[in-house]
Structure formats: C-alpha cells, structure tokens
Amino acid sequence: MSYLTTQPIDLMELAASITAADHGALVTFSGLVRDHHAGRRVVSLGYTAYRPMAEQCCGDIVREAEAHWPVQVALAHRLGDLAIGDAAVAVAVTAGHREAAFEACRWVIDELKRRVPIWKRERYADGTEAWVDPTAPSGIVEVAS
C-alpha cells in the first residue's frame, strides 16, 4: 500500500477503503493548505519526501495504531505543489465504537507530523520562500534568494 500520492486526496474514497460491517464509528481528519503561517501570507506550498523512508514510517504508524486500538486505519499524504485549500493529508479510522476511533485518529496524525520525513516549502505573497521546520525557533528556515 502506498501512503504518499501526487494526486488529490479523496477523503470519502480513503474512508471507504476501511469500512467494515462491525464498525459503527468512522472518524476522519483532513489537513488543508491554509493561506497563512507565522504571520505571513502563504500563496502556495510544496511537499517533498524521501519516499522509501516516509512510506515505511507511515506503515509503521498504521500498524502501531491498529495494534494498540481495535481499529482500521487509512492515511494519505500528498506530495508536490499544492494550492490554498488543497488537502495535504488525510486520516480515516473505523472502529466498533467512537472512543477508540477518535483516540487513534488523533494519535495517527500527531505521529505522522512528528515522525514522517515529509518536508514543506512555503511560498509567500512577498515572493520569498521558506522551509517549515517545527524544531527551529521561528518554525521556519528561510530560503536564500
């Protein structure tokens, strides 16, 4: 299974891939490209990744969630250039009951953001660009012009 895609993410298709007759709960999360970050107007962004490592990390996260909670998990992260409003990432979780589905969904997106080597380069209205780095003091690393 591939977790990374250059195609638009269809949240309903992702959710449909894990439906089960004995699962009464479906929780989804969709992360959209927003028009601002750190007080700057974002006009677009691009995602890149070291694919083999990112795919492995995503698979690990899905397997860990499914081992910890009685759930099924599907996730997708988009690579390439995205516009404001595009879905950058989506997670779908089904379970017998809502509590496990909510807990697992939140855990999956948090772990994805923390562990998966996917990098975001933002383009700003003033013509500058920066790599988003949550470990940097400002949260971004400016790109030299």
| Helical residues (DSSP H) of the chain, grouped into ranges | 11-16, 51-68, 98-115
Does residue 92 contact residue 14 with C-beta atoms inside 8 Å?
yes
**Domain range enclosing 65:** 4-33+50-118
* Spatial CA neighbour of 121 closest among 24, 48, 16, 28: 48
> Taking the model in full, what pTM does it have?
0.92
| pLDDT greater than 80 at residue 136 | no
The pLDDT value given to residue 53: 96
Per-residue model confidence as pLDDT tens digits over 10-68: 999 999 999 999 999 999 999 999 999 989 999 999 999 999 999 999 999 999 999 99
DSSP string, 64-91: HHHHHSSEEEEEEEE-EEEETT-EEEEE
45: in domain: no
Which one-letter DSSP state was computed for residue 24? -
Count of the separate structural domains present in the chain:
1
73: in domain: yes
